[in-house]
Amino acid sequence: MQQISDEAYEAYLKERGLARDQYTTMELLAVAAAREVPDGAFVFAGTGLPLLASMLAQFTVAPNMTLIMEAGIVGPKVEHLPISVSDPRGCLKGSMVSNMADTFGTTALRGYVAGPITLPRLPTRYWSSWYRRSAASRSMSST
């Protein structure tokens, strides 16, 4: 992974009004999420903070994790934060570059994923009410 120069880091801190011993909320969230990733896990990660947290986990606490990007990239060793999950930079040293349907079908739906970093951890009542509304709308549209 490329190291940032002291000058660039100082500019980053100055731009955000921080001192060397301070951090942003996003940085704190990335570190906290990274610590939750078990080594050897399969992890789906979405754009932004989830991908940043997964990359940090891969370089620190979970070097043997398999990163799965929603767009179909499996197993990359990402060195630069991609703009999105379909950014070609996300393919570095990847074991598979496919599509979203294949990635979800071959890994997520078969139960290989340790936990979603892309989805918020919403209460079960939210998902069950969403499913009921969704099922009701499907049954109305089929009649």
pLDDT digits (tens, 9 = 90+) for 14-64: 998 888 888 888 888 899 999 988 888 888 888 888 889 999 999 999 999
Number of compact structural domains in the chain: 1
Q: Which one, of 17, 18, 30, 40, lies nearest residue 113 by Cα? A: 40
Domain-embedded: residue 60: yes
Distance CA 89, CA 110 (A): 27
Domain-embedded: residue 15: no
Domain-embedded: residue 116: yes
Domain-embedded: residue 27: no
The CATH number for 57's domain is: 3.40.1080.10
pTM (whole model) above 0.85: no
Domain-embedded: residue 98: yes
Domain-embedded: residue 8: no
| Res. 7 pLDDT band, cuts 50 70 90 | very high
Q: Domain range holding 39? A: 34-141
